[in-house]
Amino acid sequence: MAHMKTAPGPRSAAVVINAGSRRGAASELAVDTMRKEGVPISSVHHVLSGADLAGTLDRVLADGHDMIVVGGGDGTVSYAAGRVAGTNVMLGVLPLGTANDFARTLELPNNLAEACATVAEGKVVDIDLGRANGAPFLNVASAGLSVAVTEALSPRLKRYIGPFAYSIATLGAYARHKPFRARLEFPEGDHEPLELEDLLQVAVGNGRHYGGGNTVSPTAGIDDHTLDIYAILAGPVREHVTIARLLKDGSFIKHDRVHHLTSRHVRLVTEPQMPVNLDGEIAVTTPTDFTIERNAVHVVVPQSSTSALFDGPGAANWPS
């Protein structure tokens, strides 16, 4: 089949590990395991900060490796995906973070030994990359409540209680949230502009999962070439509990306090100006232009994963 492709074993792989991620310490073993399974690892880098990550990825790409294996949480993986987007460099993923939503979207194993085996024996798919004012995101970008949640998530809380930290931080954030106003504009003209007030959150999803396993929408996929946009209106606290429960499976988009649209390009203008969270990292502020790059990133996934295909260059012109 044209769109399936087993990785023609990489010639040279570099491993870049975020040493500060929740399971970063386990990475030494992972490197040995991958080498034993035949991954041609020629350099290993441990990074401790975002600036460090940027410089390291630039060097690794300049060295001409055709595979980069990134170990870290969603923020680290998204940043790396942004750097390799549009190239033929394959991205391998070791999910070492707290939520690992990108791994969940692509059916990548959370178990480190299995993740290593996937890098060695998986197939390559190409996935869409979201951009917010140019900055990359794989899962979801959002303004409002989720930013407060991110700010309430101390590294210590994440390390000690793992994914459950999101629920605790969410309840705390609800209590302090101040509703805001927003205007959604659609530069491609596929929707009329939407003016909303009394908002709890606006989110733009590229992938399927975020926030420790919540679902963007029942139809969202990382390979569907569209962004899922939703705006949740503030309401009485008891309503929030309902919405929080519905977030798990994405069915909340049917709730009457939620607007849901899909598009390839949306501009978010808020009053007041607000920070925007990209896959758990606060990276840009509004006004924000959200766009999508189709099939931009080549990722190694398990042979059994059905979340994305390999369409290959020029696939944008195929009949869908």
In-domain check, residue 4: no
In-domain check, residue 82: yes
Find the domain containing 111 and state its range.
13-127+296-317
Is 149 in contact with 169 (CB distance < 8 Å)?
yes
CATH number at residue 177: 2.60.200.40
Question: What are the φ and ψ backbone dihedral angles of 9, each rounded to 5 degrees?
Answer: -10, 130
What CA–CA distances, in Å, run from 151 to 77, 130, 270, 288? Answer: 20, 22, 19, 20
Looking at the fold, whether 89 and 26 belong to one and the same domain comes out as: yes
Looking at the fold, whether 248 and 306 belong to one and the same domain comes out as: no
Looking at residue 23, the DSSP 8-state letter turns out to be: T
Looking at the fold, whether 181 and 229 belong to one and the same domain comes out as: yes
Residue in the block written with tokens 């500060």 = 20
Looking at the fold, whether 284 and 310 belong to one and the same domain comes out as: no
Looking at the fold, whether 181 and 105 belong to one and the same domain comes out as: no
Q: How many Cα neighbours within 13 Å face the side chain of 7?
A: 30
In-domain check, residue 46: yes
Looking at the fold, whether 149 and 286 belong to one and the same domain comes out as: yes
Which candidate, 63, 36, 82, places its Cα nearest to that of 45? 63
Is 130 in contact with 151 (CB distance < 8 Å)?
no
Looking at the fold, whether 64 and 87 belong to one and the same domain comes out as: yes
The string of pLDDT tens digits covering residues 193-247 is 999 998 888 889 886 555 545 555 545 555 567 898 888 887 665 565 555 555 5
Is 229 in contact with 260 (CB distance < 8 Å)?
yes
Q: Count other Cβ atoms within 10 Å, centred on residue 33.
A: 17
Is 106 in contact with 300 (CB distance < 8 Å)?
no
Cα-only R_g, the chain = 19
pTM: 0.81
Per-residue pLDDT of the chain (320 residues; tens, 9 = 90+): 334 444 467 899 999 999 877 776 677 789 999 999 999 999 999 998 778 999 999 999 999 999 999 999 888 999 999 999 999 999 999 998 877 778 887 888 989 999 999 999 999 999 999 999 999 998 889 888 766 666 666 566 556 555 555 565 666 666 667 789 999 999 999 999 999 998 888 889 886 555 545 555 545 555 567 898 888 887 665 565 555 555 555 555 556 677 888 899 999 999 989 999 888 888 899 999 999 999 899 999 999 887 767 665 444 433 33
In-domain check, residue 98: yes
The tally of domains found in the chain comes to 2
Looking at the fold, whether 169 and 231 belong to one and the same domain comes out as: yes
Looking at the fold, whether 123 and 166 belong to one and the same domain comes out as: no
Beta-ladder partners of 279: none
The string of pLDDT tens digits covering residues 165-179 is 556 566 666 666 778
CATH number at residue 87: 3.40.50.10330
Looking at the fold, whether 228 and 301 belong to one and the same domain comes out as: no
In-domain check, residue 3: no
Looking at the fold, whether 140 and 37 belong to one and the same domain comes out as: no
Looking at the fold, whether 48 and 175 belong to one and the same domain comes out as: no
